């Protein structure tokens, strides 16, 4: 299903106001299509939905997860440390207008914030969200290489002497984790390849 149709179908669970839904979709499309978005773009959302659809029957609240995917990178500025907080706050505002209940809005807010540090959660839905967000790490080496180039472009404002140590730190952080992926499904699917990809990138930095 194309993203726009998916978003509309999702929102129609809560409102019949198609003008409002269109307005919110246009905001998402515009933000994810920004010129500086080489990786954190609409393609990233499509990939995440492709991955999450496979485990749909293991997700407790698929509507919440879907909203979290749409909004988790709504704000993405390579120079900012508050992207997730800003994205979560906008999601909260929009979802309140759409008519979601407070409990679900808070869960979505927390899910989006969880994508900042990618820590294991007691909430398995959060773990699935984090895993699909990182699924690119476990793709074949060619896809992974393309991903690293896209990330480098997003951080092109930083020269190598600043970018490389930062990137090394990120990679080492993930490699030091007992497991990069939080759910059994994605651990089995991507863990080994992800570690291999990251080690190769680390060696080449």
- 């020269």: which residue's tokens? 159
In the chain, CATH 1.10.3210 sits at 1-133
Please give the chain's pLDDT, 205 residues, in tens. Answer: 799 999 999 999 999 999 999 999 999 999 999 999 999 999 999 999 999 999 999 999 999 999 999 999 999 999 999 999 999 999 999 999 999 999 999 999 999 999 999 999 999 999 999 999 999 999 999 999 999 999 999 999 999 999 999 999 999 999 999 999 999 999 999 999 999 999 999 999 9
Instruction: Give SS3 for 38.
Output: coil
Q: Which of 49, 41, 29 is nearest to 154 (CA)?
A: 41
- Residue 90 contacts residue 31 (beta carbons within 8 Å): no
pTM over 0.95: yes
Residues in contact with 33: Cβ distance below 8 Å, sequence separation at least 6, in sequence order: 41, 42
Cβ atoms within 10 Å, residue 64:
23
Q: What's the rounded Cα separation, in Å, for the pair 175 and 167?
A: 12
What pLDDT score does 1 carry? 75
- Structure letter (DSSP) for residue 136: G
State the fold for domain 1-133: Hypothetical protein af1432 (1.10.3210)
């Amino acid at each position: 299903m194309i993203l726009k149709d998916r978003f509309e179908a999702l929102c129609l669970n809560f409102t019949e106001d198609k003008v409002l839904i269109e307005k919110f979709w246009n905001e998402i499309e515009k933000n994810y299509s920004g010129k500086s978005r080489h990786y954190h773009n609409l393609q990233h959302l499509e990939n995440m939905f492709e991955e999450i659809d496979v485990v749909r029957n293991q997700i407790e609240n698929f509507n919440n997860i879907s909203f979290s995917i749409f909004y988790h990178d709504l704000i993405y500025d390579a120079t900012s440390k508050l992207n997730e907080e800003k994205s979560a706050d906008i999601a909260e505002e929009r979802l309140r207008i759409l008519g979601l209940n407070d409990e679900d809005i808070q869960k979505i807010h927390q899910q989006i914030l969880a994508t900042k540090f990618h820590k294991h959660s007691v909430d398995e839905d959060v773990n699935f969200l984090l895993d699909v967000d990182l699924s690119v790490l476990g793709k074949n080496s060619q896809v992974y290489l393309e991903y690293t180039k896209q990330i480098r472009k997003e951080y092109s404002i930083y020269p190598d002497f600043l970018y490389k140590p930062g990137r090394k730190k990120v990679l080492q952080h993930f490699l030091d984790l007992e497991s990069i992926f939080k759910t059994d499904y994605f651990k089995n699917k991507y863990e080994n390849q992800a570690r291999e990809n990251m080690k190769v990138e680390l060696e080449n930095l």
